[in-house]
């Protein structure tokens, strides 16, 4: 029984250690995640990361946002608590009107 347990453990260990590392992103390809900066009054701000494959993410910071800055790499879409819908193209900073807390967003590369 000990021989079986040791053999099974050795097999599992070799399978885990033999797993290939993920391939690095190709040069010039879109980033897997993008850091979007939400800017409020008096330069209050926070940054949240979004996947660039369209996977949505809730936004929990309650800052009343007046601008959204996108450093580039994807176009992003955000919903505000009072019904705003803001499209932020790659590399742009866009006004949110009227300023409001953002609740949900997603990005596509």
Residue 29, pLDDT score: 54
For residues 44-79, one letter each, b for 16 or more C-beta atoms within 10 angstroms of the residue's C-beta and e for the rest, the string is eeeebebbbeeeeeebeeebbbbbbbbeebbbbbbb
pLDDT digit string, tens, across residues 16-75: 344 344 444 445 554 599 999 999 988 899 999 999 999 999 999 999 999 999 999 999
Q: Is 109 exposed, middle or buried (0-12, 13-18, 19+ CB in 10 A)?
A: middle
- Statement: residue 107 has pLDDT above 70: yes
Does this model's pTM top 0.75?
no
Strand partners, 47: 37
């Amino acid at each position: 029984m000990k021989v079986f347990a040791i053999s099974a453990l050795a097999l599992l260990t070799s399978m885990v250690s033999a797993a290939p590392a993920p391939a690095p992103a190709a040069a010039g390809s879109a980033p897997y995640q993008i850091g979007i900066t939400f800017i409020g009054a008096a330069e209050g701000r926070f940054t949240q990361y979004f996947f660039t494959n369209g996977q949505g993410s809730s936004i929990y910071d309650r800052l009343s946002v007046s601008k959204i800055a996108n450093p580039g790499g994807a176009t992003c879409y955000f919903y505000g608590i009072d019904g705003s819908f803001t499209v932020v193209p790659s590399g742009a900073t866009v006004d949110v009107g009227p300023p409001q807390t953002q609740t949900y967003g997603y990005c596509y590369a």
